[in-house]
Structure 1
């Protein structure tokens, strides 16, 4: 792959991540609030019970300023670059292995499923400490828990050990295989029905991919929510914007506890903004990628003309 393509992809991802970062902070704040959305006393609590995206943004701007919407963006940007690199490398390596190491070739769909699951698991495991740091910084309210990224690394290592960087890794890995399975099952089923359509925003295949992604994300979203809550547990649990997040000894018990105290709706806090975020993120990524690639190619062209 051309270095220009890799560089343009990295630039596009970083720009897109920066622009949609406020939506990610909003999603994390909504996921972390341990209150029932139907509780009439929730707005009277010391920690605000956000009723939606707009209320969350207003509260952050009023109490934490504009920069509050970008909390955790540095580890998030680092995570994006590392995740993409590990995922791409592992996906290609796994695909080559499956094509050459087995006595018979697997069906293309099964091959893609296995390669996608393996690469997703590898990328998640390698970059998980950055994901945890992103969540903890985004969960900070007016009072800072960590003074800097370097300080956070030292504090977590000192107080929680290496395992502290991997709190919630279980549900993170646990959602990858069902996500891939649901995605491919939904995509293949819809593709046959929608493949012949030509819609304003793309082909029927593209529409099937979008719908399959929404269905898969929705199905595994409770695991993402419980992962976020486990990530902020530990010695600093009482210092975040919500200081009374229950202690979950496992992801399964966490899901049961959330369902019992917050209802089914509680398992999907932050889902709407998570789904909405995907569209602008993709659009910004593609727009930036095309222009970055053209700019890099023009630089190479100027250098070539200058050397003549």
Structure 2
């Protein structure tokens, strides 16, 4: 296996991988939180400009475009409105980052242990490891993802007064399965997304490292992360929209900022209904801000991961010399 592909998998101990992944997820989430809120608000919006709106006595959607959504949230909910759902999201990213990178490393080692000539090529190893790691991290942290979406979907009128209150309400009125609404769409999305992301990232990293052109963020890691994220996110975006629509189902569905969210049940039926009533635009609503979010998020994640891992390895090296 080439050194470029093996680098991410063989750096650091399992504990260091978990720490670096968790820190990377935490930092990344804080940076992109406002874009995440904007994306969720747009994904839950089903109206075209000609449709009457149930939330207000006007025609048209609640939000119009990324900048319009940003300004409206600031005007009506203040700066803190852009960080709604940040507490469960930070917890999710903290856990997600650690689980994702540790699972990626573990699965990669298992695949590399397969004897020749059955050892898969580097690209297949990266895809399988990334997809498996993404599925494991998504499932383990899904309740936090659902809470993030529900809090981000709240307007000035709170649906849930606190995180604890939301946990109690969902448990009481929706049961344990209520915390996993839309998990099928989440896993269906994350498996190809993370597989494509890691395979593209590992392939582009040696190319960007030797690029004669100045790279964004001054790092080949960041540039490779940006390109890999944009390509992967666009490919699976309809499933992300489906997941968000399913996550706000339940007894509080008509109390969010979009009070006429349809009732959905199941991944396939949701995809078909969105396509039938909203078309391709409905499937990709919020894609622009999603790509704006995905690029810096992945760049910050990979850049932070590599730097934190580097600092820990350097620290260990100094200690061994003492």
Q: Using structure 1 for the length normalisation, give the TM-score.
A: 0.82
Shift of 1:5: 7.9
Where does residue 136 of structure 1 map in the other structure?
150
Say whether residues 1:17 and 2:32 are aligned partners.
Answer: no
RMSD: 3.8
Where does residue 238 of structure 2 map in the other structure?
222
* Distance verdict in 2 for CA 1:248–1:139, change over 3 Å: same
Paired with 1:269 and 1:186, the residues of 2 have a C-alpha distance of 25
Task: Specify every segment of 5 or more residues in structure 1 that has no aligned partner in the other structure, as ranges.
Answer: none
After superposition, the C-alpha distances for 1:53-91 in whole angstroms (9 at most, x for unaligned) are: 111112212221211111000000000111111112222
Shift of 1:94: 1.5
Where does residue 245 of structure 1 map in the other structure?
261
Equivalent runs, 1:1-308 vs 2, <5 Å: 1=12, 10-36=22-48, 38-39=49-50, 41=52, 45=58, 48-100=61-113, 104-180=118-194, 198-201=212-215, 210-282=226-298, 284=300
Q: Using structure 2 for the length normalisation, give the TM-score.
A: 0.79
Q: In the comparison of the two structures, how many residue pairs are matched?
A: 301
After superposition, the C-alpha distances for 1:171-213 in whole angstroms (9 at most, x for unaligned) are: 1111133335655787799899999853221799986764443
Shift of 1:147: 1.3
- Alpha-carbon contact 2:51-2:59 (below 8 Å) kept: no
Greater mean alpha carbon deviation, residues 196-205 or residues 186-195: 186-195
* Distance verdict in 2 for CA 1:189–1:101, change over 3 Å: closer
Paired with 1:127 and 1:191, the residues of 2 have a C-alpha distance of 28
Task: Specify every segment of 5 or more residues in structure 2 that has no aligned partner in the other structure, as ranges.
Answer: 1-11
* Distance verdict in 2 for CA 1:280–1:190, change over 3 Å: closer
Shift of 1:294: 9.9
Paired with 2:314 and 2:104, the residues of 1 have a C-alpha distance of 31
**Equivalent position SS for 1:142:** coil
Paired with 1:156 and 1:19, the residues of 2 have a C-alpha distance of 29
Shift of 1:250: 1.6
Paired with 1:21 and 1:98, the residues of 2 have a C-alpha distance of 35
